[in-house]
Amino acid sequence: MLPFFQWCENSAVGAAIRGSQWLFPVIESFHLLALALIGGAVLIVNLRLLGLGLRSQPAAQLARDTQPWLIGGLAVMVATGIPLFLSEAIKCYYSPAFRMKMAFLLPAIVFTFTVHRKVAAADEKVVGPLRSGLVALVSVALWSVVGASGRWIGFSG
Amino acid sequence: MSLLSFCQWLEQTPGSIALHESLWVYPIVESVHVLTLCLFVGTAVLLDLRLLGVMMRRAPVSEMARRLLPWTAAGFVVMVTSGALLFYAIPVRTYLNIFFRVKIAMLILAGLNAWVFHSTVYRRVAEWDLDPVTPKGARVAGGLSLLLWAGIVVAGRMIAYNWFDSPAVH
């Protein structure tokens, strides 16, 4: 795996970001703005599944309404995350925080677009509060680990 | 006592030194501050998007406000508390940092914007609660809020950089 990370580090995009004083913080600012958007979209549906907000709206309606913003936020996240990674790929390779983030990112995305999506779209009476609450908690936990370990990349090395 | 000398005094207090030198507490407080973006800005943005008429157009605005604002407020409390601790850890440098000053200025503007919205257009929310397209005042408030919070996030991230710091700090 290390040669791949070295190749990333030596890529033109990575080098350009390292060579600039302001590119990294500017890209990272957009990464953070998308974090707020994803966080909001994920939280509002999960709070609803936990019975803690917007109870007059069916969860399915909320999930449908927030879906484009969630996907848009994810797209910005990936589009900004990749160049940030390219600029410090070797550091990421040796960073436990980065490995943890990647290890939780995949299950978080898969869970969001499979189990979570299904439960949010289903009739609440069929799913039951226990199951939808559990799904909401797992979703919040997965995304929280992704966010926290992402922040921690900056503290390591 | 000037603000600068207050910050200089603050920097010498044992709590500030301990926080500044801590291995774990400072990064944890910083992570809490960043992750609370989801709760605070995330929920505020959802209401702004509804006010702009681009999201959840069928949901009553008053219900969204009633259900979301407690979470926004809780997020705000965590933000201010963790933010105050971050400032307390590094007072002088932060005070002299241009991005910090821009951030505080935008925070005041965001507060004013919310206050004006709640004391004018929102007073008459019953008249436009279910309108997919909200009155102009509400759209302006939602747009301003979005812009200001985005600017606040960016300026906040930039505090880490000392490009325009006064040489007096170093």
Per-residue pLDDT tens digits for A110-128: 999 998 888 888 877 777 7
Question: How distant is the Cα of A131 from the closest Cα of chain B, in angstroms?
Answer: 22
**What is the pLDDT averaged over residues A97-105?**
95
Range of the domain at A140: 2-153
Given this model, what pLDDT does residue A18 score? 93
Q: pLDDT band at A58, cuts 50/70/90?
A: confident
Using one digit for the tens of pLDDT, what is the confidence trace for B84-118?
999 999 999 999 999 999 999 999 999 999 999 98
Mean pLDDT of chain B: 90
Q: Please indicate whether, in this complex, the C-beta atoms of A29 and B153 are within 8 angstroms of each other.
A: yes
Q: Please indicate whether, in this complex, the C-beta atoms of B42 and A155 are within 8 angstroms of each other.
A: no
Is the ipTM here above 0.90?
no
Q: Please indicate whether, in this complex, the C-beta atoms of A152 and B64 are within 8 angstroms of each other.
A: no
Q: Is the pLDDT of residue B125 over 60?
A: yes
- Closest CB to A54: pick one of B30, B49, B63: B63
Given this model, what pLDDT does residue A32 score? 92
Q: In A76-86, which positions are buried (b, 16+ CB within 10 angstroms) versus exposed (e)?
A: bbeebbebbbb
Q: How many residues does chain A have?
A: 157
Mutate: best of B33, B61, B67, partner A, most A CBs <10 A: B67
- Closest CB to B154: pick one of A29, A66, A155: A29
Number of domains in chain A: 1
Q: Is the pLDDT of residue A105 over 90?
A: yes
Tell me the whole-structure pTM to 2 decimals.
0.82
Interface residue ranges in chain A relative to chain B, Cβ cutoff 8 Å? 21, 25, 28-29, 32-33, 35-44, 47, 53-57, 61-62, 65-66, 69, 143-144, 147-148, 151-152, 155
Given this model, what pLDDT does residue B116 score? 93
Count contacts between A and B (CB, < 8 Å): 98
